[in-house]
Amino acid sequence: MGTDSIDSRASSGDRAARLGHRGSPRKERVAPHDRWISPWRRFFRLVLTTFLILIFLGAAITLIVAWVLYRALTYVPPFFAERLGERREIWKEPSDQFLQRATTLGNLIRKKQPWEGVFSEEQINGWLALEWPAQKPQFTDFELGETRVQLADNRVLVGTDVTFKYLKGVFWLQLEPILAEPNYLLIRIRDARLGRLRLPMTWVTEALTRVVTDVNQSHHWQQMDADPVLAVRFDFTEQLKGRRPQWTQLQISPGQLYLAGTTE
């Protein structure tokens, strides 16, 4: 019986030792060199995480800017979209009317008498749709497409498709024509945009200079309240064999253009 008691106490001691070993896990000894490596690992992990976050934010910002820029460049002004959607057959009659009125006005100007001419916005757009494509100037850096206008009170909105090498959009101008004196036309550029983006006026003036040069009329640039102004001096004396037409009136109202003058 005493032996049994001693054996049971021994067994209980073994079990307690085993349970005590399981309940308190053994602590690993940290080598001295690991004590300074661990902070550096945390530092490099922080740097790497920050770098990845910055890359992600940069990519997100780039995508947002690219999307906003794309939307701005592909914006089509309402006046242009409304007049561009018409089928080309619709423009046949207005174009013929424009050509007929222009011919009549040309014949009146050749005679020594007062003259006047009235053109509707629809007639002008008909001519632009059917006749202008064969006469438009050619540029090396871009190509002009369809062109339309809207006539308002003393203002003209002009829009045209422009195709660059890797970009296509609508270039449009807000112009204020002013007949300062007989045969002396000032064209004030109130606004110039590609889509929604404002364009450098140097680019605009170079493009308009090319158009006026093709018309073969004397011109120069000046300014009016910080807006560029194209000044054109018309002289048809040589074409009319010595007769001098005096263009004295210009009226632009919604949907209509009125010209008047006299020939000496």
Query: Among candidates 118, 112, 248, which has minimal Cα distance to 183?
Result: 248
CA distance 107 to 86: 32
Q: What angle do CA 103, 105, 106 make, to 5 degrees?
A: 65
- For residue range 182-240, what is the model confidence (pLDDT) as tens digits? 999 999 999 999 888 888 888 888 878 877 776 667 888 999 988 999 999 888 777 77
Type of residue found at 138: Q
Q: What is the pLDDT of residues 1-21, one digit of tens each?
A: 454 544 544 455 555 455 455
- Asked whether the whole model's pTM tops 0.75, one would answer no
Separation between Cα atoms, residue 101 and residue 116, nearest integer Å:
10
